[in-house]
Amino acid sequence: MADAMERTFGNPSSIHGVGRQAKRLMEESRETLAELIGAHPDEMYFTSGGTESNNLAITGSCLAFERMEGKGSVITSALEHPSVTKTVRNLRRDGWRTEHLDAVKGDLDLDTLGRLLSERDDVALVTVMSVQSELGYRFPIKEVAALCHEHAMARRRTDSDAASASYPLVHTDAVQAFGKLDVQVDDLGVDLMSFCSHKIGGPKGIGALYVRRGTTLFTTAAGGGQESGLRSGTQAVPLIVGFAEAARITCADREASFKRISALKRMILEGLAERFDGLCVNARDDGSPYIVSFSIPGTSNSQVIRMLDEQGICISASTACSTSRADVPEGTWRVKHPLTLRLAGFPVTHWRYTYRVSLCRDTTEDEVRTFLDAFTVAAEKSLGKRAG
């Protein structure tokens, strides 16, 4: 990435030598990423990150459907990332029908999905994330896709000439899954998949959207027609190169990292259980090991998180995207009420004493021990068991 930044400053759309060199690096990176998810290079589109990928997938597919059939329906889960929930909300304001599937304690309501698909012939898109970003729930994307494709096949049998006979499309936000879980697109059965670089240790500001061949999306921004006309704007080649290299490194030992991080997650939860009788584990055993969510009633997460931060230990109450503190003066602490916990079936007050610990492929046992010791001291202070 550093080499690309220093030596390859050309615009990949230019026809001169420096531009061609930049384009070669970009296309090699596209091939690398495509191979890692079992896709074709021409199905990969670079974006600025997961948020843009989600916006483009949802809005682009729905605009394409609307051009053929008029406004239809979108089905999503109740626990999606804000870049999905707010995009779907915008569609509803524009006249689309939207439905949210319950996912209490991580159990996605597939029965309701099947019923909605049977009752409606105007479902343009079903979008469900692969891994819930706050609680680590793993949703059954293969089952979701199978239901949707079964419905599409039934539609084709009754009206094969309809322009919308290939709908509903299936989109998954795989930002928390890529590089950590197996996300082969043909195995999942998805038509659209969003993922990004910084969740696997790559540079921020770069992501990708997988679009299955034959899937029509409308662009949401006019410009120079880069990325095959889908996403205009000069591509950030150094970031793209860094993205591909981070993905290559991460995916090379994905299975080994998964096992090791799973052991560290158990170490955290077992250590907390030994120290705190009231421990409530919010995550599921079959969830992503990279996200550890738990609650300790009686503690104040804003106090505990601040005390740990002063020691250089960074944890949170939920995700950064759902707890933006843009309106909070610097030097003060406030944990925003995360709606996710309530929608997942937890008590209304649960958010006040909930903690989220993120693990990565580089996390060590020593770091986990340090965290457990520091967290214990901070939590006991918050509980009033220690002075000051």
Q: Is the dihedral of CA 221, 79, 184, 2 positive or negative?
A: positive
Pick the catalytic residue: 148, 196, 314, 321? 321
Contact 304, 355 (CB under 8 A): yes
Q: Judge whether 321 counts as a catalytic residue.
A: yes
* Residue 294 to residue 346: CA distance in whole angstroms: 12
3-class DSSP assignment, residue 49: coil
Q: Give the ranges where the chain is alpha helix by DSSP (H).
A: 2-7, 17-37, 50-69, 82-93, 110-119, 141-158, 185-188, 237-252, 254-275, 301-309, 339-343, 365-383
Q: How far is CA 192 from the centre of its chain?
A: 13
Q: Which residue has 């997988």 as its token pair?
A: 210
Classify residue 298 by its DSSP letter: T
Structure token digits, residue 269: 């939860």
Burial class (CB in 10 A: 0-12, 13-18, 19+), 384: exposed
Burial class (CB in 10 A: 0-12, 13-18, 19+), 365: exposed
* Residue 243 to residue 32: CA distance in whole angstroms: 10
DSSP string, 10-21: S-TT--SHHHHH
φ and ψ of 76, to 5 deg = -145, 180
For residue 283, give the amino acid letter.
Answer: A
Contact 243, 33 (CB under 8 A): yes
Give every CB contact of residue 52 below 8 A, 6+ residues apart in sequence: 207, 231
3-state helix, strand, coil in the chain (%, to 5): 45, 15, 40
Closest residue by Cα to residue 96 from 77, 73, 80, 75: 73
- Tell me which residues are annotated as active site: 321
